[in-house]
Amino acid sequence: MPRPLIGISTYVEDSTRYGVWDVPTALVPAGYYELVQAAGGAAVLLPPDEPERAAEVLGRVDGLVVAGGPDLDPVHYGAARDPRTGPPATVRDHWELALIGAALTAEVPLLGVCRGMQALNVALGGTLTQHLDGHVDVPGVMGSHPVRPVPGTRYGALVPRDAEVPTYHHQAVDRLGRGLVVSARALDGTVEAVELADPVRWVLGVQWHPERDTDTRVMSALVAAATTRAARRTPLPVA
């Protein structure tokens, strides 16, 4: 059976220099697709598109990774902007929230990473803490800390003991979105993983950066869920 196709959200940087070129570029760190490949999946990068086309795009993949990145605009969860919240990434916000909504509707296995976990929570009506201390040690340098799994959760079954994870974030989940449960916490109590309490839909968000690690357990679980979905979905017609 072919490897399941895992879509990874990308984002546009208005000025990106490579070689002699300095042009707007859709990109994502290589660690994302490398981790998908290491876990047995095939990766495809999903550039921003019209939000109403999210369902069409997801009809062509077996699983979805929503990548990390800048702060989500607090307008999406009805909060005033904290001065420490970064500038809005409007196009990316609308596209990724549409991807998440379409994935939930179509039961596409979904992994949200850092910002992707926060966007998942907001898409389901949750809110965010706009600033917390202690999870970014040095600006521009990935830190690490242990996370503790919650027994009885999907993540807890995958990683049953405390694990040291790469981390870099100053925002976090506050009020949980509809249907989500906490499946891991940092030792200070910060929510570090959430998942949909649904035995049918495989939906998990992690606050850390698995693409900066060699531990494939979380991504392998996404790939396994995507493989199961690929085996049962109806192929798209070929023109």
Of the listed 114, 135, 169, 192, which one is catalytic?
Answer: 114
Question: How many angstroms separate the CA atoms of 194 and 116, rounded?
Answer: 11
> Is 107 known to be catalytic?
no
Residues 6+ apart with CB under 8 A from 127: 77, 78, 79, 121, 174, 175
> Is 56 known to be catalytic?
no
Residues 6+ apart with CB under 8 A from 155: 149, 183, 184, 193, 195, 204, 206, 218
Nearest to 100 by CA among 135, 75, 74, 76: 76
> Is 209 known to be catalytic?
yes
Of the listed 96, 192, 195, 211, which one is catalytic?
Answer: 211
Active site amino acids: 114, 209, 211
